[in-house]
């Protein structure tokens, strides 16, 4: 046993480090006052799949936390869906640089869609999550599971 003990403990230690990212991902992000006090939301679907936009509208309607509006100007928040597979137009004379898409955050893994809440005036990301999708289909659960969990944690902390 003494000779195998270091190898077993090393394996256990390595295995525990593998679970840390999963635990970090499972912990809901905290929500800013801008998000928790928002009432209206505008949807920007940049995935190229209308089905995901329709799914999002249905989920928001069932949830009832936000009222949908038809423009960014009327919205307290913008809810943007993207999968990293879209092209953005740049004004004449501008070229993409290293920070051209800084508001997008880290790359979206293949087979996932990023759900992000943005400040409509500054276009700054206030909160984001990813969800497993395949084309226009949600693979498991609902697109807004992460956001609802974050609101549930916020509501519980207020009690």
Residue written as tokens 């974050």? 150
pLDDT value of position 19 = 45
State which residues form the domain around 45: 30-84+103-158
| Residue 98 domain-assigned (yes or no) | no
What is the predicted pLDDT for the residue at 106?
77
Percent of the chain with pLDDT over 70: 69
Q: How far apart are CA 131 and CA 14, in angstroms?
A: 27
Give the Cα separation of 112 and 137 in Å (integer). 10
Region 20-28 average pLDDT: 46
DSSP reduced 3-state for 106: coil
For residue 122, being part of any structural domain is answered with: yes
Q: What is the pLDDT of residue 84?
A: 80
CATH number of the domain that residue 74 is part of: 3.40.50
The whole-number average pLDDT for the span 136-151 is 94
For residue 105, the model assigns a pLDDT of 64
Q: Which of 52, 26, 43, 24 is nearest to 117 (CA)?
A: 43
Domain-embedded: residue 13: no
Single out the residue of 44, 57, 26 nearest to residue 83, CA to CA: 44
Domain presence at residue 96: no
Q: What is the pTM of this model?
A: 0.72
Give me the pLDDT at residue 22, please: 44
**CA-CA distance, 104 to 18, in Å (whole number)?**
26
pLDDT band at 75 (very low <50, low <70, confident <90, very high): very high
Structural domain contains residue 10: no
User: Is 143 inside any structural domain?
Assistant: yes
Is 148 part of any domain?
yes
E strands within 83-149? Answer: 112-118, 125-134, 137-138
pLDDT at 107: 87
Check residue 25 and give its pLDDT: 46
What total number of domains does the chain contain?
1
Q: How confident is the model at residue 142 (pLDDT cuts 50, 70, 90)?
A: very high
Encode pLDDT of 101-133 as tens digits.
Answer: 445 567 899 999 999 999 999 999 999 999 999
What was the pLDDT predicted at 103? 52
Do 150 and 30 contact (CB within 8 A), yes or no? yes
In a domain, 12, yes or no: no
pLDDT band at 23 (very low <50, low <70, confident <90, very high): very low
């Amino acid at each position: 046993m003494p000779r195998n003990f270091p190898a077993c403990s090393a394996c256990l230690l390595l295995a525990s480090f593998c679970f840390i990212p999963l635990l970090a991902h499972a912990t809901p992000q905290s929500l800013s006052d801008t998000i928790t006090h928002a009432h209206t939301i505008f949807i920007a679907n940049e995935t190229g799949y209308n089905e995901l936009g329709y799914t999002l509208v249905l989920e928001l309607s069932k949830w009832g936390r936000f009222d949908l509006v038809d423009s960014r100007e009327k919205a307290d928040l913008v809810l943007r869906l993207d999968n990293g597979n879209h092209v953005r137009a740049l004004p004449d004379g501008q070229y993409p640089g290293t920070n051209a898409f800084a508001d997008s955050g880290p790359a979206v893994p293949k087979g996932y869609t990023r759900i992000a809440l943005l400040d409509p005036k500054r276009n700054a990301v206030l909160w984001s999550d990813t969800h497993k999708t395949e084309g226009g289909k949600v693979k498991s659960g609902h697109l807004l599971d992460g956001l609802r969990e974050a609101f549930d944690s916020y509501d519980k902390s207020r009690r």
